[in-house]
Amino acid sequence: MTTGKNYIGDVLSAKGKTTFKTINPEENSENETLFFEASEDEISQAVALAEEAFKIYGTIEDVKKADFLDAIAEEIEALGEELLATYIQESGLPAGRANGERSRTTGQLRAFATMLREGSWVEAIINKTEGKPDIRRLQIPIGPVVIFGASNFPLAFSTAGGDTASALAAGCPVVVKSHPLHAGTGEMVASAVIKAAKRTGMPNGVFSNLNSSGIEVGVALVEHPSIKAVGFTGSIKGGTALCKIAANRAIPIPVYAEMGSINPVLVLPSVLKTESEKWAKNYAASIVAGTGQFCTNPGLILGIKSNELDYFITILALEIDKLEPACMLHPNIKKQYETLKSEVLGQSGYTQQTTLNREIKPNYALQNVITVDGDIFLKNKTFHKEVFGPFSVVVKCDDIEQLNEIILDLEGQLTGTILNADLKEYGDFKEVIQNLKNKVGRLIFNNVPTGVEVCSGMTHGGPFPASSDSKFTSVGLTAVKRWVRPVTFQDWPDELLPQALQDKNPLGINRVVNDIVTQNTI
């Protein structure tokens, strides 16, 4: 039997007594490899190595960090088909998804490398005024961080995903708490990171990867006094629990948690009159994409009662029924989907729109759409819940006023979408759209919410409970802002300043330079 181990820096270790195996959800059977959960000693070693590595890595030149990130991407690609086979075996996701997610993962790493070479990410600011203090500021890394792997993205949001890539770009050593659903995939990617670290001369401890089947390892890492921040993608329950643990430390630390969202979609009357079939088909595909296991899954569709809305709902249900059910990530996730779905379907006042009597394989999810009137939706919060899977609620509102009331009643969301075919209609819904903007991190016009572009302008976050801090994103280049803090240098000799703040600016970094005429001193 093969065994899966923990990377404590560049050393493979298996000291823990607790073991577990991953599941092949497609086959509904255990995979062969036996993984060892990290012991208390291994946790302490990994964090101690990260703390020591920070002394070097936190001050290393950006160009060297960029070379490291590029090397990680190359080493992940060098894992070849074996990585993709392990990914598929542990997730039940298809080969096309595996290929696409690998490309996204390596693309993120290379994007952060490009950002580092350009240099302006440090936000260097110089304020100089004759007779006043010389004030200069830039961002510096905060120290070792813990990253929790996500269940639904074994590559792009896990071991070397966006959280890890952005933290390493910032100059922070990373300890990954690998997700137990894809521990084999995680170990392979960890081996690529370690190879890249050695190849580019990074300090030992800049990266570690720890396995666990329960919550104990994650709790111990968040509680460790040397950890300075946490990145998490998962459930509201898990994210809020970590936030409480971090807040109750002797020295509290931030938890950047991306949690839950039902991603409301406003279908305006003009669309229903002219493009109903087009958007019904698009949203049928979006609801079942990835078996509904995307955090941006459109779980709530809102429209004003009309014959056209009824027609849209009919087409949406027909199109969803045409699509074949697909495998979920794990038997426990399938069980959770059925539990949450049953809770919603146990309420009164809704209308079932899709077929419920299809035979499906174990761990496959039957997609479902229901409709409910606006007054019932407002009275019964169960219909507001996120059902993680291919499930969506269509709300039939009486009028614009009730639509606005529903928007105001919603919790914070990752996305909000407007479907519109006539810009003249915007004025009638201006207040509704403004209120929706105040609830979301990304406002979409005439598209689907599934699919999150990795770029400098992306916001993947939103007001609580979509994320724990709406000022930050977990996707895109500005994700690096989570792992840095500003430091101001006052009246320092030029040659002792960080290069980005020196007058001669040897790095050629874009900076904000202000010769202030007047200055108020507090």
Give the residue numbers annotated as catalytic, written as ranges. Answer: 258, 295
Residues paired with residue 12 on neighbouring β-strands, in sequence order:
7
Q: Which residue has the tokens 């959770």?
A: 336
**Spatial separation of the C-alpha atoms in residues 223 and 248, rounded to whole Å:** 9
Beta pairing class for 19-20 and 11-13: unpaired
Please count the other Cβ atoms lying within 10 Å of the Cβ belonging to residue 505.
Answer: 16
Q: What's the CA angle centered on 509, arms 507 and 512, to 5 degrees?
A: 140
- Tell me the C-alpha distance between 314 and 361, whole Å: 26
Under a CB-based contact definition with an 8 Å cutoff, are residues 293 and 181 in contact? Answer: no
For the record, the structure tokens of 283 come out as 């949203």
| Contact criterion met (CB below 8 Å) for 450 and 390 | no
| Rounded-to-10 torsion of CA 84, 174, 478, 291 | 30
Q: Are 13 and 6 in contact (CB under 8 A)?
A: yes
| Chain Cα centroid distance, residue 50 | 23
State the CB neighbour count (10 A cutoff) for residue 399.
Answer: 11
Pick from 447, 397, 445, 462: nearest CA to 261: 462
What DSSP line would sit under 416-469, residue for residue?
Answer: EEEE-S-GGGGGGGHHHHHHHHTTEEEEEESS-S-----STT-----TTTTBS-
| C-alpha–C-alpha distance, residues 478 and 355, integer Å | 43
Alpha-carbon span 504 to 510, nearest angstrom: 12
- Alpha-carbon distance 367 to 297, whole Å? 12
Rounded CA-CA distance 335/398 in Å is: 35
Answer yes or no: are the C-beta atoms of 7 and 202 closer than 8 Å.
no
As a whole number of angstroms, the distance between CA 235 and CA 91 comes to 18
What separation in angstroms does the CA of 314 have from each of 299, 310, 478? 17, 6, 41
Distance, in Å, from the CA atom of 170 to the CA atom of 147, rounded to the nearest integer, reads: 14
In DSSP terms, which residues pair with 364 in a beta bridge? 327
Q: CB–CB of 4/171 below 8 Å? A: no
